[in-house]
């Protein structure tokens, strides 16, 4: 165990995927239900991976809402704040795994993620303003038993191998059916 | 009130943004702390909007982790499941607001969002496989006091005005600093 990561299992998983690439096909899911106004709830339980249908040990509920200043009930984070969390979580999990694989013991990983958005895109009539964040910034603070340049290289590799970073910086096909 | 939305406040907000577009500049934030292994936690509290620093009524904590099959503790949804929730929540909040503005009373909004991912991108040596979802699908079930074609048009407008949909289908600049 290093950084709370079972490195033997991590390397065995990497070897298993190399031997049988089809095992790496996963499907993740969320089912969402409207509660009232901008308040809604997703339940996350089942997923597909390593050739079969699976489930988390328990179902997780995630709520979202708008703050009062955006005509919501402020019962939960906004959808775009969930997206910032997804990015921070993906980069952090990645860099902890990479550090464990490289034999680096981490003592602290903190990050702040900010997203700047001009709501004239969503609320206003100006088609020149996009709906989403104009830019996202991530600031990491990482401490561990390795020189600064090694810790920087670990963060850089986590960026190169992050699913959420990839999806935000490259487009993903999304189809919506009713 | 319609669909739990205070429509008078919604229209007043739209008018206020039209009169003073700078009020629509917001910044959302998440601060993330590593716990152990792939388990980490974001706290979401402060944000900037309508010209000043603000905060949610309370701080929200969001955890993320990997399931056991991906060498995690399964304490929370994965980062990519948080992203699916962000998409479902954004589209749902939007369509409820749009329906309220158009005078449509909704009785039910449900959606299932799926994301297909080949983890050979993250885990494997094949540079041809991307890190993120290859595709995302959203299936909505909407009921209310309007004909099907009106409900479909409301979902379509929410897609056109969704911050998270925009970010996934168009790229966002993301900078990472250590």
For residue B163, give the nearest of A67, A117, A126 by CB distance: A117
Arithmetic mean of pLDDT over chain B: 96
pLDDT of residue B103: 97
pLDDT for B6 equals 97
Number of domains in chain B: 2
Given A56, A76, A96, which residue is the final one in a domain? A76
Residue to test with chain B: of A27, A51, A78, most B Cβ within 10 A? A78
Q: Give the CA count within 13 Å in the CB-facing half-sphere of A167.
A: 33
Task: Over range A22-47, report the average pLDDT.
Answer: 97
Q: In chain B, what residues touch A120 (CB-CB under 8 Å)?
A: 17, 21, 24
Which of A32, A70, A162 comes nearest B88 by C-beta? A32
- Closest residue of A to B123, CA-based? A14
Domain range enclosing A1? 1-76
- Residue among A16, A22, A30, A70 with most chain B CBs within 10 A, to mutate: A30
Residues of chain A in contact with residue B120, where contact means CB-CB under 8 angstroms, are: 17, 21, 24
pLDDT of residue B106: 98
Contacts of range A159-162, beta carbons closer than 8 Å, 24 or more positions apart: A159/A91, A159/B176, A161/A94, A161/A98, A161/B122, A161/B131, A162/A87, A162/A90, A162/A91, A162/A94, A162/B122, A162/B131
- Tell me: do B163 and B103 sit in the same domain: yes
- Residue A140 included in any domain: yes
pLDDT in tens, A143-178: 999 999 999 999 999 999 999 999 999 999 999 999
Task: Please report the sign of the dihedral spanned by the C-alpha atoms of residue B12, residue B14, residue B18, residue B23.
Answer: positive
Mean pLDDT score, A51-65: 98
Q: For chain B, what percent of residues have pLDDT higher than 90?
A: 96
Q: Are residues B153 and B83 in the same domain?
A: yes
The verdict on B69 and B92 lying in the same domain is no
Contact B64 A86 (CB under 8 A): yes
Q: List pLDDT tens digits, range A93-142.
A: 999 999 999 999 999 999 999 999 999 999 877 889 999 999 999 999 99
Check pLDDT > 90 for residue A50. yes
Domain-embedded: residue A51? yes
Q: How far A145 CA sits from the closest chain B CA (Å)?
A: 16
Let me know whether A110 and A64 are in one domain: no
Q: Is B129:A51 a contact under the CB 8 Å cutoff?
A: no
Q: Do A109 and B171 touch (CB under 8 A)?
A: no
B92 and B127 co-located in one domain: yes
| Chain segment B33-88, per-residue pLDDT in tens | 999 999 999 999 999 999 999 999 999 999 999 999 999 999 999 999 999 999 99
DSSP state for residue A2 in the 8-state scheme:
B
Residue B110, burial from CB neighbour count under 10 angstroms (0-12, 13-18, 19+)? middle
Pair A90, B86: CB distance under 8 Å: no
What's the CA gap between B99 and A77, in Å, rounded?
Answer: 22
8-state DSSP, B126? -
What is the predicted ipTM? 0.98
Q: How far apart are CA A146 and CA B178, in angstroms?
A: 14
Residue B176 lies in a domain: no
pLDDT tens for B147-156 read: 999 999 999 9
Give Dmax over CA atoms of chain A in angstroms.
Answer: 55
pLDDT at A125: 73
Same domain (yes/no): A10, A86: no
- Cβ contacts of B122 on chain A, cutoff 8 Å: 94, 161-163
């Amino acid at each position: 165990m290093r950084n709370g990561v079972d490195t033997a299992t991590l390397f065995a998983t990497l070897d298993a995927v190399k031997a049988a690439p089809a095992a790496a096909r996963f499907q993740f899911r969320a089912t969402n239900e409207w509660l009232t106004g901008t308040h809604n709830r997703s339940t996350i339980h089942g997923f597909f991976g390593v050739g079969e249908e699976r489930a988390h040990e328990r179902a997780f509920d995630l709520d979202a809402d708008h703050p009062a200043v955006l005509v919501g009930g402020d019962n939960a984070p906004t959808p775009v704040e969930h997206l910032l969390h997804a990015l921070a979580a993906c980069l952090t999990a990645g860099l902890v795994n990479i550090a464990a694989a490289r034999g680096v013991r981490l003592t602290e990983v903190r990050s702040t993620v900010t997203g700047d958005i001009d709501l004239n895109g969503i609320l206003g009539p100006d088609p020149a303003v996009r709906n989403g964040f104009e830019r996202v910034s991530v600031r990491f603070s990482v401490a561990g038993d390795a020189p600064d340049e090694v810790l920087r290289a670990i963060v850089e590799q986590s960026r190169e191998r992050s699913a959420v970073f990839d999806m935000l910086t490259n487009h993903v096909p999304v189809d919506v059916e009713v």
